[in-house]
Amino acid sequence: MNQPPGLELSLGPGLRAGFTDASLDLSTTSGCEVLANQLGMPLVVVRQVHGTDLAWVTKAPTSLVSDVGPADAIATRLSGVALAIRTADCVPVLLADPEKRLIAAVHAGWRGVIGQVVPKVIDHLRQAGATELRAGIGPAICARCYEVSGSLAFQFAKAGLPLSQSREGNPSLDLPAAVAWQLDQAGVRHCSTRPPCTKCAAGFHSYRASRQAAGRQAGWIAFLGKEPTRKPQHAEK
């Protein structure tokens, strides 16, 4: 297994997790295949729609890269399968309970944050048996770069989420801070609460900076080794 580009996180024993950078473009199948080969295992992605649905991976993939359909979060208990969420300003969030053998990757843009995608995924994982979840927050656009309309800022405030200001003093959203707050409210320990900004820091894909020409980086997570011999007692939905 090679070292993918970007930042690797330590979320617990028996697993690997990290966030890629602009040296790899995950917006294409070929880019996903490169990451899968670097990780030395099949890669599973979802067709992200800015919603709150979670897709479970319960069977080993039969191809190097698999798309399991429309969703904005993906989870599994399987070993030797990497889960990936692709972003270009939105927040990639990785969740893991190594002891209960549950991992997930979540895509959280402003719609997902307002829609509570991260808390909803946490609820699903806890229903599946997770008790000690850990989280990593990856590179995303910062509040100084993410100026929004007054009406969108009002929606954020109405949902009880923190607001901020852009460099020009106009309303903006701090998506990483909002996700960190939601993790705190859910009682989940997290790291990388101030990740690099995808727009003003060098080396990342950014939709705000490049619009339609923007590529995608990824948050990825995988269990290593063989499957446990003891079958889980909770059946995933």
Give, in degrees to the nearest 5, the angle at Cα 209 between 207 and 213: 60
User: Is residue 160 predicted with pLDDT exceeding 60?
Assistant: yes
**d(C-alpha 110, C-alpha 6), whole Å:** 24
pLDDT one-digit tens code per residue, 5-56: 888 888 999 999 999 999 999 999 999 999 999 999 999 999 999 999 999 9
Q: Is the pLDDT of residue 4 over 90?
A: no
Say which residues have a Cβ less than 8 Å from residue 65's Cβ, sequence separation at least 6: 29, 32, 33, 36, 42, 43, 44, 45
pLDDT classification of 236: cutoffs 50, 70, 90: very low
- Sign of the CA dihedral with 123 first, then 131, 128, and 97 last: positive
State the chain's mean pLDDT as an integer: 91
Residues shown for the chain? 237
Q: For residue 79, give both structure tokens.
A: 């070993």
Q: How far apart are CA 125 and CA 127, in angstroms?
A: 5
Q: Which positions ≥6 away from 159 have C-beta within 8 Å? A: 114
Mean pLDDT of 183-211: 88
Q: Which two three-digit tokens encode residue 71? A: 């969703």
110-153 pLDDT per residue, tens: 999 999 999 999 999 999 999 999 999 999 999 999 999 999 99
Question: Does the pLDDT value for residue 70 go beyond 90?
Answer: yes
Domains annotated for the chain, with CATH where assigned, are 7-140+200-223 (3.60.140.10)
Q: How confident is the model at residue 227 (pLDDT cuts 50, 70, 90)?
A: low
Reported as type and span, the H/E element at residue 35 is helix 29-39
Out of 72-76, 134-138, 224-228, which region has the weakest mean confidence (pLDDT)?
Answer: 224-228
Percent of the chain with pLDDT over 70: 93
Query: Would you say residue 201 has pLDDT above 50?
Result: yes
Q: How confident is the model at residue 63 (pLDDT cuts 50, 70, 90)?
A: very high
Structure tokens at 46: 């979802």
Quote the pTM value: 0.92
What is residue 202's DSSP assignment? T
Predicted local distance difference test score (pLDDT) of residue 68: 95
Question: Which pLDDT does position 229 carry in this prediction?
Answer: 45
